[in-house]
Amino acid sequence: MNIEAIDKAFVMGTYARNYTSFVKGVGSKLYSDDGSEFIDFASGIGVNSVGHGNEKLVEAICNQAKKIIHISNLQVIEPQAMLAKKIVELSGYDGKVFFANSGAEANEGAIKLARKYGKEANEHKKYKIITLANSFHGRTITTVKATGQHSFHDASFAPYPDGFKFVETIADIYEAIDDETVGVMLELIQGEGGVYAFDKDEIIALRAFLDEKKLLLIVDEVQTGIYRSGEFLASNFYGITPDIITMAKGLGGGVPIGAFMSRHKDILKAGDHGSTFAGNYLSSSAGLTTLEILSELYDTHKLQETIKYFDEELNELLKDFSDIFESTSGIGLMRGIKVKREYDVGAIVKACMKHQVIILKSGRNTARFLPSLTITKDEIDEGFSRVRIALNDL
Ligand SMILES: *Cc1c(COP(=O)(O)O)cnc(C)c1O
C-alpha cells in the first residue's frame, strides 16, 4: 500500500506535505512506519501539549469513550461545565466560556460577540475590528480576512466580509480607531508571523486606553494559550485583562477543541451562537485531563525548569551557529530563531527532518520550536544535537 500515492489521488492538495508516515508516538519521540525515531519539536503545531501517548490522557479518553462520546448541546454536559469552570479558575479572570472545535471557529465566535457588544453598548452600531500586520487568525472566510497578511487574501476567494482594518504596529492602532471601531484583535506573541512577542508596556498601555474608550481587546490565544508562554494564558504573562480570549491548539492534548472566554458574560443569548460537536463529552474530558496534567506541571515548577533549559539550549545554538542565525525570539516554549538572509529556512526545516528532528517554519525567515510542554531534558538534548548535525550538513 503506497500511502503517498493514495493521499495524492484522493486528498485535496492544500498542504505542502512531507510524506514520512508516523505510526506511534511516546512523549516527544515519534516513530515512522519504517521504524525510524524522530524527536518532535513541533508537537503537531502546538497541539500535543502533553506529548504523545500520554497515559493519563489516553486513559481519560478511553474511559469517556466507553461511557458516552457525544450528546448535543441541547443537553447539559458535565465535563463541559467542569472544563469551563477550570478554564475560568486557572485564568484568574471573571468570565464565561463558549466551546468551539478549532481556533478559527473560536475566533469567529469572538467576532460575533464583539459585534453584538458593539450594537448593544452604543447608540450607533460599532463593528470594525483592528488587526495587525503579520497576524494569523484562521482559515475561514472571516478569520482569513481578519488575518493581517495580504498573501492570505487571494482574490479567488473574494468577496470577503467587511469590518476589518489592518495596521502595521501597536502604535498605529490609536490613529486607526474611528467611531465605528468596536475593538482590537491581536496575538500577544505572533505565532505564524515570525514568533514575535509584543512589548509588555506597549500592550499594557493599549489595554488601559481601550478600557478608557470602552473598546474591546480580543486576544487570540489559540497558539499562546494553555501554558505555552509559561503562564496559563499569555494574557496572564502580560498582566492584562482582555475582553475576549480565544483558545484551541493545546487545550485538548490533540483532540479537536476550541473555546472563547469573555468577561461580557451574557451578551450572547440562547440562539445567538452554537455548534453541534463542540464541547462534547470526548473533547471536554480530554480538555479537563490535559489541564490537570499541565496545571500540575506548572504548580511543581517543572514547566519553568523546562522553559529555562530550552532557552539555554536555543541560545547556545544561536551562539554556535552565528553564521546562520541572527537572533532568538518568543516566550516560554513558543520560540523562534531568525535565519540570516543568505539562508533558506525551508531548507533548514528539511535538513532537520532528514536528521530526524521535527521543527517548523514561521513567517519568511524564522525556524520555530513548539515542543510539547512535557518534553524531558534528554529529549531536548537529543533534539538539539540532531539540529546541530543537520545544520553542519547544510
Ligand atoms: C492556529 C491558529 C489559528 C487557527 O486555528 P485552527 O484550529 O487551525 O482553526 C488561529 N489563530 C492563531 C493565533 C493560531 O495560531
Select from 346, 335, 340 the least CA-distant residue to 324: 340
- Closest C-alpha to ligand 1, atom 6: 103
100-125 pLDDT tens trace: 999 999 999 999 999 999 999 999 99
Give the DSSP H or E segment for 363.
none
pLDDT at res. 124: 93
Kindly state if the Cβ of 256 falls inside 6 Å of ligand 1: no
- The alpha carbon torsion through 23, 25, 30, 36 (nearest 10 deg) reads -50
Mean pLDDT of the chain: 97
Q: Is the pLDDT of residue 54 over 90?
A: yes
User: What is the rounded distance in angstroms from the CA atom of residue 43 to the CA atom of residue 379?
Assistant: 13
Is the beta carbon of 248 within 6 A of some atom in ligand 1?
A: yes
Q: Is the peptide bond before 242 cis (omega within 30 degrees of 0)?
A: no
Distances (CA, A) of 91 to 78, 222, 227, 256: 20, 14, 10, 21
Q: How confident is the model at residue 249 (pLDDT cuts 50, 70, 90)?
A: very high
Burial (CB < 10 A; 0-12, 13-18, 19+), residue 62, is exposed
CB 280 within 8 A of CB 269: no
- The per-residue pLDDT for 300 is 98
Distance of CA 274 from the midpoint of ligand 1 (Å):
19
CA distance 242 to 235: 7
Task: Choose one of 108, 111, 226, 249 to mutate for the ligand 1 pocket test, by most ligand atoms within 8 angstroms of C-beta.
Answer: 249
Position 35 scores a pLDDT of 96
C-alpha distances (whole Å) from 285 to each of 50, 89, 192, 246 are 14, 17, 29, 19
Q: Does residue 1 surpass a pLDDT of 90?
A: no
Share of the chain above pLDDT 90, in %: 99
pTM assigned to the model: 0.98
